[in-house]
Amino acid sequence: MTGQRKTHPEEEILERFAMKRLDEPQLAEFEEHLLLCEHCQNRLDEVTEYAAVAREAAENVATAPVKETSRRKWGSLDWLPMPAPALAAAFIVLIAILVWQPWRVTAPGEWRTVELATLRGAREASTAAAGFSLHLRLDVSGLDAGGASAAIVNASGAVLAETPVSLVDGKAELNYAAGLAAGQYWVRLKKAGETVREYSLAVNSR
């Protein structure tokens, strides 16, 4: 991907990605868009925040004391500010959010900076924690990295994302908002389609 897409993904795509339910090839396409789109990064943060608020509200309801008179009032449904079917539908939505809440642990939004200076084959690799959005800074000493791009590759050789890099203070920088699961990865710096340097990245479980 050489530039940001002109249009933003639909809301359904954003929600499915946040809940880890987006399949290929839409997953790869959305991840590449997310790398360069601050607007969609903010939208994803809003989804995450909404789920957290909903969870807190549900916990407050669950811990509230119930008196005998309150139980009778609940049974009559006379207190409802909205029709019972509408309340039931809203409650189902809330339960669905809480059931899917485990994706919050690995959802993007919490950023970590990782310095990559170790080439593949060296004894020690740069490390990162699983589930965090990553700001990667690549050591490009001795290289002409102008116009270069970087590809993130998993241990099986599959390319998870490829994006242009920015040169800042002698480093080639890129963002990967989706976060990575625990495992071994490689970051390949490319220029004119050729790999000019490769970095090792070990992602550990939290």
Domain of 200: which CATH number?
2.60.40
Sheet holding 166-168, edge to edge: 111-116, 133-139, 171-176, 166-168
86 has a pLDDT exceeding 70: no
- Boundary residue ending a domain (105, 140, 173): 105
206 has a pLDDT exceeding 80: no
32 has a pLDDT exceeding 90: no
112 has a pLDDT exceeding 70: yes
Same domain, 38 and 55: yes
Establish how many alpha carbons lie within 13 A of residue 16's alpha carbon, considering only the half-sphere containing its beta carbon: 13
- Boundary residue ending a domain (105, 129, 158): 105
Same domain, 84 and 135: no
- The answer to whether residue 37 is domain-embedded is yes
Please provide the average confidence, as pLDDT, over all residues in the chain.
Answer: 78
pLDDT recorded at residue 107: 47
Cα end-to-end distance, the chain, whole Å: 30
pLDDT recorded at residue 117: 87
Same domain, 85 and 158: no
Long-range contact list for 142-145, CB < 8 A, 24+ apart?
A: 143/189, 143/196, 143/197, 144/191, 145/172, 145/189, 145/191, 145/196
- Give residue 156's domain range: 111-204
pTM check: above 0.75:
no
- The answer to whether residue 2 is domain-embedded is no
The 10s digit of each residue's pLDDT in 125-159 is 799 999 899 999 999 999 999 999 999 999 999 99
